[in-house]
Structure formats: structure tokens, C-alpha cells
Amino acid sequence: MRRERKRLWRALLWVVGFTAAGCADDSQEPKRLVLEGCTHWEQGHLWCAARVFDTGQKPVTGLGLNAFALTESVSGQDARPVVFDSKERAFEDPGFYERSVTADKVDIIFTIDISRTMEDFVAPLKPELGRILDALYQKRADFRLGFILYDNLFDEVVVEPFRGPMDQAALRKFIADLTVRGEWWTPAATFDALLLAGDGASQGLAWREDAEHVVVAVSDSFSASAYGLEWYSIWCTNANQAAAHEIQKAKAFRLLYSTSPWSGVEGTDPSNDSYASSETNPKALSLGKMDPLGEKLPWPLTADDLVAALDLSATEVVDSVYYFAWMSGLSLTQADGQQVKIDLSVTLPDGTFTQKASVPAVLSQRDISLQVEDVRGNPVSDATAVLLRRMGDLFAEVSWDNAVESGRATVPHLPEGDFILRVTTDGWYQYEALRYFSEQTIQVIPGGQTVVDVKPPLADQAQELARARGLLADIADFAPANRPFADYAVEVRAWLDGLEQQGMDRVALERLKRFNVGLSAYLNTLSFGEAMVEGAIQDFVDAARELRELFRRTEETADELDSDVISWDTLILLASYLIQRDLDATEKWAENEGYVELLKKTVVKELVPKAVEWMLDLIRQNCDNGQLAANIIDLVKELVYANWDNDSGALQKVVLKIAAIFLAPVLDRAVEAVESALKDELRDALGEAAAEYSDEVTALVRVGLEAIWGGISALLDQSQETSFLNAVKTRVQAAVAKLGEPKNVKKAVSAVIDILKEKSGPGMMREFVLPLLDMILRTAVDVDGGKVDHDIIVETLARLFCNYVLIERYFSTPLENGMRELWAQAQGFGPDGNALERYDAMHQDFRAYRRDVVEPNVVRALAAMSVQETFEQIDQWLSGAEYLLYIAEYLTAATCTKFPDFCEAAFEDVPNLVKFIRGLRLMTNIVEFALKLDGANKIAHATANGNPVLWATP
């Protein structure tokens, strides 16, 4: 695709070049030398541009200054040969330039990490950059190079504006002066650099529309992002990987990146030590990499690798211009009203060719008034107007320091000619700065327009919109509880679209910047919360499933026991007998045939209930949110203590359990949101699935699907034969008869449900309704077969409850409320003051937000994720109980030789008692889940309550 585009540009540029040559004058004869124009760039400082063609009208390249002769003259003064020896100002060094390029037109921005850890890599990088420049010249590419140098602070960014082939000396000097700074082992702010690269017009990095846009990122670390432990201002960022992707789409640039092989690899990248952790915020690593954004180049970067990737294949020069710049040696002020005559000749192998031009000896001057308004028509202040002349790739300021105040500026004594008018806010890029920037071409002619209207947009709008959209993309994809912020993201995106279409004034852009800072803190909170709850949910599910089996076995064992309980004092005494090797004492116990029964009863009827209640008390005592603790305890009791009989009523009990653990309202909301069109699509999908999975299986799924759309009441309805509980048994039996075994039916049901999930797309239907239906239908198959799979029921209900009741209620909802309040405050915020005052206000507010809200949240998150003190209590207690049982096991072994019958029975039962304790220790996973979710709840409320800090003013 790139090569095809290059061929098109090559053809177009050739046409443009040929037309320029052919239109030099009215003669029909093709010209070998075309003097395109001569002018002053300042009074007395002249320049000309010329093209040279061979007999076939192809550009002649590679001519030196000695091939040309240039003279200037004015009436009354001797003609003067122009000598290019003055080095007074911009265009006069060296004064002679050739710009001959192929159709390979490319703008390249290097974003280079110059943090201290790059010291060993920047030194060898500099000669490689020089070789890259050599290759661009050798291939005669129509290139421009720009640079963004940064470290982990994106506060004092070094930006070198685009420079083209005529600016070789400045490019080579910049490369030679590259150095590193700082001493931090934290990742560099590469995503911020990519955002500025995409939207860097105000820093001299405006892309040419007809060029290929390339960004080359070089860093030895993964990128800092909103996920990191170190958050906003000044050594942090509110950018993320998705924001970099958004600016790529908006500005259509190609990313090539060279990062170290240890970048983002846990255990090898030093940046991980203080910034990211796979346990606390794993996305700081996984979403800090460049992989999804561009094309990876080898590390370290070499010229050969980059040039090969650029694919500069054009060989024919399609545009060639020679430039001549000099300070006139004539006394031009004495020739006011006359013309300076310029003769240019070039000597080629087949002859010498001459062209003439003339320019006014003295330029007329006039004052130009600027009327400067923002996109809302408000007068602009805090800006400066600069006038520049352009010669090829080179620019020279002619008039500067023209202050814009109250929408007005005057540029005095501006000479006639073409200028680039740049209205900008002084200073380099800083996040809190609100900077105007515009460029337009104006022409000053005698008697011409004296008032110029300027409407400079604010700089950095595109990158702030990309930040917001990137943050929203990750927030919308927050995994637990069915991406609960998806609707919020859609609504805010619509607001962003409106801002983009209308254009932003200073108030609107400050609102967006403040909103982005706050929103990135929410994303930071979400990443901690997600890390806390995702793993804990699986632990909770596993614990609930194992504990349910433990209590089932406990109940069965307890029913068989009638003897008294052994006191713990007695068990300890028993242990001392063994330790002392007092076999006489141990034999007395061994003679007691009820020994093992007593031991079993001690564990089953005393230890297990005490342990469970004690751990439930730990949840009550350590969760600051009492309702959260109560919900978790209820869930444990509903799922762990529950047992479903393998009879015809088991399916109804399972459905009733859905209501008992508060999932019925979730189901009702979910099915109410299902549109009729989606229902029809799913019905059609069932019809298509019948060809592969049989009519009997799809009929079973259909009866369940139609019922679940009616909510819990429809699932429990038994008023008609066609009601779900009445109809499902017939459907199950028909499917089993068709497929032979219940396991085949369950497998087919899940496959059909997967088809429906794919058709449903993201949303509650796919994430909640269909998994619930899958569990209900598989349970219906089990009920008919006489053996219910309790694990499937417990796992499904526990997972859905965790996601859609606990996490949604105690984490997602307070966060969404906070984000909505943040958005409302952003839309209503009315800042006041000049640019410096607004900079100071944002800087102070952002630092306060970090200090008072975000940093404490990190501490809360880490504390919630450790919760070691509580677990040490549990573990110590249960380990002690398990140790005593091991002692009892050893005690039993000591008497085996004398009482073999007793030995055989004990060896069957005592190890099982040890397993009881091990199973009981799974309860710690539930306590851990409760404490982590309680911590997440605190973080969510703290973040939401921190919003007002963002809207303070000094």
C-alpha cells in the first residue's frame, strides 16, 4: 500500500515540477533554466530560487555553486557579482542550497528516552542517527526530521522542530549534542511523547498532509501510564496505551519502536521495582508496552534497520530547486523607487543558459493590525504574533515580540511580500499550559489590507481528546461485573465529539484537562481494584466449592457420632505422651476402642463449627462496611451449607437459590434491556444451530431461553404444561434419547449457548443471562439423571454474585457515581484569570489531588492486598489444629504393632481428619476476598470524594 501511494505521489510531483518549469514565461520553448522568483526576506537581504533542466526536461541535480553566475545591478551603480561569503543571518550560511528530492516524502519524529538509564545507549545511538541522515540524503528523500527528548518527567521536554534537507548543519549539531539526564529507575513517559508527536504543530512538528508520517520511539523501558504506582504531576502521567492508539488514528502516523529486550519483563526491568507489580497493578506492565501500537525494530536501534523499515525505494528525482541567498552589496537605499536587476546563468555541458528577474530596491513598509479572536469570538490575550519568511525548508523571523492583548496586536513597519503569520503563546510544552497556536500565509502589498483577522485554535486539543478517549476505552473494558462503565463511556464520548466539532476555547480545554487528570485517577483505582478482586473471585469460588463438600462430609460424619468430645487439653496431653515416648500411656488410649470416634467427633462437632464462626467473625470485625460483610456471610451460608437433593424438586431449589442470593433483580434488569431485535436474532441462531446440534437440544435451549426472558417468576412458573419447570423435563429426556448420554446433552447445550453468546455481543445477555441459563439447563439434565453437579451450581452462582452484586454494589457503583460527578463538575467549571494564573491553578490543584487523594489510595490498595496480619491469625490457629491431628496420627502409629485392628481403622480415619482441617483452611480465601473487596470499596469512595480537589482555585 505504501509503495502504491509513493508511485502516485511520484507521478504527481513530476507533473508539478514539469508545470513549474514550463510556465516560467510565455514562450513555448522549454526552458533549461527557470528563475522561479527573487525577493527580499528583509530589506537588502535577497534570495532567489531556480530550477535547471536537461534537454529532456528532467531536473539537473548535483550542480555546485561554481556552475552558476549571479549578478545584481541597479541604475546608477555598477553591476556587482554576487559573492556568497556573508554569514550574517539565517539564510546566508552557506547562502547556496540544493533541494533535489524523489517522491519518497516522509516526515519522521524521533521520540527518544534520555533518562539516565539510557546513558550507555544514547552514545552509540548518535552515530546511528548520523548514518540515518546520511542515508536520507543519499536516497534524496523528501524528508523532515523532528525530535522529542524526554525522561520519566514529561515536564521539561526538549522539542526540535521539523528540519528538512536544507537544514543539514542544524540537524547534525542537534544529534551531536544529544545527552541524558536524571537518575530515576522509573519508566519513561513514552505515551506522552507519542501524543505530543501526533499533535505537535505548536512545537514545530506539524505533519505535511502529502507526506508519510512516521514516529520512531526509542526507550529502554516500558512506558509510564495512568496505571503506575507513581501518578500525576510531576513525575507521572495521565496517558495510557489506548490514548496513544487514539492519536495514531487521529493523525495517521506509523509507529516504529526500538525497546530493550528486558523492557516490561518482570524480574529484569529495573523500572518494575518501584513502579509496577504483577500482583498490585499488572496493567502497568502489560499495557505499558508498544507491541499493539507499531512495528518492533531490533534493539539497539541501527540505521540499517530503520532505513530498511522506511522502504525508501524511489530513485528518480521529481523536484529540484537551487536556492541563492545573499546580502546585497549595492546601496539600495539610494535607489528607492528603482528595481534591482538580477541575472542568473548556469553552465552545463551543452551550453550556458541565463534568466533575469527584478525586485524593488527598497521595500515599501506598512503597519499591519491583527484582530485575534478565539473559536467563540472572544478576544485573545496572552499570545504573541511572529512574522516569518520562508525559503524552501528554511525559516527566518522578520518581526517578533508583537504582543496580543485584548484581541489586538500591531505589527509595525512590515515590508511588502509574503509572510507566515504565527500567533502563539510563548513557552515550551507543559501539561498545565493553555497555549494558542495558528499559522497562516499573509501578503503585504502597497495599498493592501491593513487589518488581518486571526482565529488561533488552542494547541494540544487533539492529544487531550485522545487522552480522554483512551482512558474511556480502558474504563469501558473494566472486566469484573460486565464492564459496568460502558454506558458512561458512550455518553462521555458523545460530549468529546461535540467538543471536537465545535472547537475548544480556553475554558473548555481546561475543563477537559482537569477531567482527564481526574479520570486517570479513576483508571488507576480500577486497576488496583481489578487486581484485588479478579484473583480473589476465583479463590472465593474454589473455596466455596471445596467448603460445601467439606460441610457435606462433616454433616454425614456428625450423624454417625454419639460419643463425647475429647477436650483440647486431653489432645495436648496426648501429644506430650508421644513426645516423651511414654508407650504405657499411649497404650491405655489405644485400648480405648472409642479413641478414633472421640477424635472424629472433636474435629467435626467442635473444631469445624468453631473455626467457621471465628472466621466469619473476622469478616464482620475487619470489614468497615458492615453491609458488605453481611452479604458475603449470607453468600457463604447460602452456597456452602446448601445441598440440593437429587429429586424432581432440585431444579426449582436451584432457581430459588438465584433469588436467595440477590441475583433475581440483576436478571430482571438484564432481560428488560434485551431488545426485540436481539431476541429474534437469537431465535434465528437457534434454528441454524439445530442442523449441527439436533432439534432436541435446541428445543431444550429454546424453552429455557424463552423462560429466562421472563425473569425468575417465569422460571419458577408451574401453572401450565408449557411452563419451564414442567416442560424442561420432557425436553431433557428427548435430548438424552437422541444423544445417548446426559454428558453429551450437557456438552451440546453449552456449545449452543456459546453460539448465542457470540451472536449477543458484549453486554448483560452474554455475560450474565446466558451463563446463568447454561447452568440451569445443565442442572436440569443432571436432575433427570439423578445426580446433580453441585460444583457447577456453586461456581456459577458464586461468580455471578461476586461480579454483579458485591463488586457492582461496593466497587463499581461508587466509582461510576464519582465519575459522573467528575464529568458534571468538568462541564460546569468556570475558570478565570490569565494564562499564567490558570497554569498555576492547575499545577497546584493537580499536585493537591495527587497528594491528598491518589497517593493515599495507593497505600490503601497495598494494605488491602496484603491483609497479612489477619491471615496469620487464621493460619496460626488452623496450623495448630492440624499439627495436633498429625500428632494423633503419629500416636496411632505408635500403637500399631500391639493393636493391629485399631491401627487399620485409625489409618483410614485420622488422615481424613487432617484433610478436614486443610479444607477448612480454604476459608481464608473467603476472608481474603472480603477484606480485599472492603479495601476496594474504600478506594472507590476515596477517589470519588476527591473530585472537589480538582476544581479548587487559588
Tens digit of pLDDT for each residue in 575-625? 554 445 455 555 555 555 455 566 666 666 666 677 777 778 888 888 889
Q: 484 preceded by cis ω (within 30°)?
A: no
Buried b (16+ CB within 10 A) or exposed e, 831-870: beeebeebbebbbebbeebbeebbebbbebbbebbebeeb
Cα(267)–Cα(419) distance, integer angstroms: 56
Give me the DSSP letters along 891-934: HHHHTTTT-HHHHHHHHHHHHHHHHHHHHHTTHHHHHHHHHHHH
| Grouped pLDDT means (10 residues each) for the chain, 954 residues | 41 35 52 94 92 97 97 95 73 83 98 94 97 98 98 88 96 97 80 97 96 98 84 68 98 97 68 67 87 96 98 96 94 94 97 96 94 96 95 92 96 93 91 94 86 96 98 87 82 98 96 96 86 77 78 64 52 51 55 57 66 79 89 85 69 91 91 92 94 94 96 92 92 95 96 95 89 96 87 90 89 94 96 89 89 82 70 60 58 55 54 62 77 87 91 72
Query: Which ranges constitute the DSSP H helices of 674-723?
Result: 676-693, 695-708, 711-716
Contacts of 853 (CB under 8 A, 6+ apart): 521, 942, 943, 945, 946, 949
Provide the pLDDT for residue 410. 96
How many C-beta atoms lie closer than 10 Å to residue 567's C-beta?
Answer: 12
Cα(405)–Cα(383) distance, integer angstroms: 7
The pLDDT tens digits for 378-417 are 999 999 999 999 999 999 899 999 999 999 999 999 999 9
Cα(232)–Cα(513) distance, integer angstroms: 12
Helix (H) or strand (E) holding 604: none
Cα(434)–Cα(838) distance, integer angstroms: 8
List the grid coordinates of 499: 467538543
Cα(516)–Cα(510) distance, integer angstroms: 10
Provide the pLDDT for residue 858. 76
Enter the pTM of the model.
0.86
Report CA-CA distances (Å) from 9 to 241, 316, 579.
32, 12, 91
Asked if domains 2-98+317-360 and 365-454 share a fold, the reply is: yes
Instruction: Give yes or no for a contact between 162 and 392, defined as CB atoms under 8 angstroms apart.
Output: no
Provide the pLDDT for residue 482. 61
Domain ranges of the chain: 2-98+317-360, 103-309, 365-454, 645-787
Report CA-CA distances (Å) from 59 to 105, 107, 167, 302, 752.
17, 23, 21, 33, 68
CATH topology of domain 365-454: Immunoglobulin-like (2.60.40)
Cα(484)–Cα(472) distance, integer angstroms: 12
Contacts of 247 (CB under 8 A, 6+ apart): 194, 195, 197, 198, 199, 462, 463, 466
403 forms bridges with which residues in the sheet?
384
Cα(355)–Cα(153) distance, integer angstroms: 55
Cα(438)–Cα(444) distance, integer angstroms: 18
**Percentage helix, strand, coil for the chain under 3-state DSSP, each rounded to 5:** 55, 20, 30
591 forms bridges with which residues in the sheet?
none
Instruction: Give yes or no for a contact between 881 and 917, defined as CB atoms under 8 angstroms apart.
Output: yes
Cα(386)–Cα(424) distance, integer angstroms: 8
| Residue 733, phi-psi category: left (phi > 0), alpha (psi -120 to 50), beta (remainder) | alpha
Provide the pLDDT for residue 33. 98
Provide the pLDDT for residue 10. 38
**Domain 2-98+317-360, CATH homologous superfamily name and number:** Immunoglobulins (2.60.40.10)
Euclidean distance between the first and the last CA atom of the chain, given in angstroms as a whole number: 54
Instruction: Give yes or no for a contact between 498 and 450, defined as CB atoms under 8 angstroms apart.
Output: no
Instruction: Give yes or no for a contact between 367 and 450, defined as CB atoms under 8 angstroms apart.
Output: yes
Q: Is 684 exposed, middle or buried (0-12, 13-18, 19+ CB in 10 A)?
A: exposed
| CATH architecture type of domain 103-309 | 3-Layer(aba) Sandwich (3.40)
Buried b (16+ CB within 10 A) or exposed e, 14-40: beebbeebbebeeeeeebbbbbbebbb
Cα(886)–Cα(935) distance, integer angstroms: 36
Provide the pLDDT for residue 617. 83
Provide the pLDDT for residue 55. 95
The pLDDT tens digits for 240-278 are 999 999 999 999 999 999 999 887 666 666 656 567 777
